[in-house]
């Protein structure tokens, strides 16, 4: 093969967005907001650019932003990270994930992932010669059977990748899951890559349990978060990786040759904006209203609404409507009913088809309203 990823196509998110655009469909496929970010944040960015702060940032990130990140993590999870040596600003969550895998995964290292899994984990592990072991979480509950997971652990297991809250299922880890995870990794050198980019989008008063809350996990965890999700600016591509110094030191060795550093004026703007905690403390309520609006609108349709505990994605089972596979169904929904979604099977290596699709509700009420109207005709 010509390249290491010869068998892999374009991500499902780009595919579905393109299909939505070609068909003038309402795009509830790729996860991004269709509304503006706060103008205060946008003004800060403009101000820093115009002030002329446009050269390289330090490789780990700008200290004013890293201090705000450390303060946010301490306030939300009672965990202490040293801003200078334990937090690295990255070009979005995806680069943090890529760099973490590139840093630690060598040929034949085994990595455990939980499906439905965000699409970048597996190809990245394979790029570096790692071997993926999967646990399939299934509809409608997406529960984890930790005994089965235990069976996947060998002396070659190098890393476990968790995505909590989970994209696409909207499932969050419970205290019991965390305790099982603690037991699983105890007395092993296993690292954990914890993708928590939706940490601030958890509903119904439930609590996001960040792995950094637990000292036994924090010491081995690379925690990944995203400002795109936090402040509705996915196109800025800024996030971070927080990890103990020994892991961060290694992470930065790769980071420096991968991107070296991240957009300077945007980092300064984010740091300034984060001084006010109100700017990030109300995301749960903000998105819960959108989730409830969508669920209410779809409640009398033939779609079955699966639980949505967090993220800005709603999973819908459509088996009462069609027995087509989810890829075909999502395609037809876009072309004929003008609503684009993401088929769940794209999040499973073995294309497990449970007749479930994902809708993104990080959209204006009028967008959701139009989608509801179209979906109600099915
Ligand atoms: N995270 C976004 C989603 O799940 C997609 C980002 C991307 O297109 N790569 O839809």
Query: For 111, phi and psi rounded to 5 degrees?
Result: -130, 125
- How many whole angstroms from 329 Cα to the centroid of ligand 1? 20
- How many whole angstroms from 191 Cα to the centroid of ligand 1? 25
Query: What atom in ligand 1 is closest to the CA of residue 197?
Result: 1
**221 near 243, Cβ under 8 Å?**
yes
| Pocket around ligand 1 at a 6 A CB cut-off | 11, 13, 30-31, 167
Pocket test for ligand 1, best of 10, 19, 31 (most atoms within 8 A of CB): 31
DSSP-assigned letters across all residues of 123-174: HHHHHTT-EEEEEE--TTT----HHHHHHH--TTEEEEEEESSPTTT-----
As a whole number of angstroms, the distance between CA 177 and CA 181 comes to 6
- How many whole angstroms from 360 Cα to the centroid of ligand 1? 10
- How many whole angstroms from 155 Cα to the centroid of ligand 1? 33
**309 near 203, Cβ under 8 Å?**
yes
Query: Which residue lies with its CA nearest to atom 9 of ligand 1?
Result: 13
**363 near 34, Cβ under 8 Å?**
yes
Model confidence, pTM: 0.97
DSSP-derived pairing of the beta strands 304-305 and 313-317: antiparallel
Chunked mean pLDDT (size 10), the chain, 378 residues:
91 97 98 98 98 98 98 98 98 98 98 98 97 98 98 98 98 98 98 98 98 98 98 98 98 97 98 97 97 98 98 98 97 98 96 96 98 96
Q: Is 336 helix (H, G, I), strand (E, B) or coil?
A: helix
pLDDT of residue 247: 98
Q: Give the distance between the most distant pair of CA atoms in the chain.
A: 58
Both tokens of residue 173? 């880890």
pLDDT of residue 208: 98
pLDDT of residue 15: 97
- How many whole angstroms from 156 Cα to the centroid of ligand 1? 30
pLDDT of residue 27: 98
Nearest to 137 by CA among 164, 97, 98: 164
Residue with tokens 């999973």: 315
Pocket test for ligand 1, best of 9, 30, 92, 117 (most atoms within 8 A of CB): 30
Q: Label residue 365 exposed, middle or buried (CB < 10 Å: 0-12, 13-18, 19+).
A: middle
- How many whole angstroms from 374 Cα to the centroid of ligand 1? 23
Taking the mean position of all CA atoms in its chain, how far away is CA 82?
24
Q: Is 104 helix (H, G, I), strand (E, B) or coil?
A: helix
pLDDT of residue 185: 98
Query: Which residue lies with its CA nearest to atom 7 of ligand 1?
Result: 13
Q: What is the DSSP letter of 315?
A: E
Report yes or no for ipTM above 0.90.
yes
- How many whole angstroms from 187 Cα to the centroid of ligand 1? 35
Query: What atom in ligand 1 is closest to the CA of residue 17?
Result: 8
- Residue 226 pairs with which residues in a beta bridge? 239
Both tokens of residue 90? 């990255």
**What does each C-alpha distance from 33 to 37, 171, 233, 348 come to in angstroms?**
9, 20, 8, 25
Query: Which residue lies with its CA nearest to atom 2 of ligand 1?
Result: 31
Q: Label residue 369 exposed, middle or buried (CB < 10 Å: 0-12, 13-18, 19+).
A: middle
Cis amide linkage into residue 165, ω under 30° from 0? yes
**167 near 198, Cβ under 8 Å?**
yes
């Amino acid at each position: 093969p010509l390249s290491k990823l010869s068998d892999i196509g374009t991500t499902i998110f780009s595919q579905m967005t393109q299909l939505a655009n070609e068909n003038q469909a309402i795009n509830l496929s790729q996860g991004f907001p269709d509304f503006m970010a706060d103008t205060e944040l946008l003004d800060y960015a403009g101000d820093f650019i115009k002030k002329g702060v446009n050269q390289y940032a330090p490789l780990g990130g700008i200290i004013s932003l890293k201090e705000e990140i450390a303060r946010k993590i301490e306030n939300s999870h009672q965990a202490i990270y040293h801003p200078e040596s334990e937090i690295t600003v990255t070009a979005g969550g995806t680069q943090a994930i890529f760099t973490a895998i590139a840093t630690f995964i060598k040929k034949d290292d085994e990595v455990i992932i939980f499906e439905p899994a965000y699409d970048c984990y597996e190809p990245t592990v394979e790029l570096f010669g790692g071997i993926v072991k999967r646990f399939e979480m299934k509809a409608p509950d997406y529960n984890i059977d930790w005994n089965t997971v235990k069976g996947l652990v060998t002396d070659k297991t190098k890393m476990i990748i968790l995505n909590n809250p989970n994209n696409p299922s909207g499932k969050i880890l419970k205290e019991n899951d965390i305790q099982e995870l603690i037991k699983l990794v105890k007395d092993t050198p296993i690292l954990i890559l914890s993708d928590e980019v939706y940490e601030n989008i958890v509903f119904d008063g439930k609590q996001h349990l960040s792995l950094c809350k637990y000292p036994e996990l924090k010491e081995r965890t690379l925690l990944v978060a995203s400002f795109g999700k936090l402040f509705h600016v996915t196109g800025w591509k800024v996030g971070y990786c927080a990890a103990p110094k020994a892991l961060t030191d290694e992470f930065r060795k790769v980071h420096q040759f991968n991107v070296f550093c991240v957009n300077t004026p945007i980092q300064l703007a984010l740091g300034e904006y984060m001084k006010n905690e109100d700017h990030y403390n109300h995301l749960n309520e903000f998105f819960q209203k959108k989730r409830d609006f969508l669920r209410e609108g779809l409640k009398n349709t033939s779609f079955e609404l699966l639980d949505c505990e967090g993220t800005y994605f709603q999973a819908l089972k459509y088996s009462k409507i069609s027995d087509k596979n989810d890829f075909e169904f999502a395609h037809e929904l876009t072309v004929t009913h003008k609503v684009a979604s993401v088929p769940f099977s794209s999040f499973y290596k073995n294309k497990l088809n449970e007749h479930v699709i994902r809708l993104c509700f990080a959209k204006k009420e009028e967008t959701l309203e139009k989608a509801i109207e179209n979906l109600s005709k099915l």
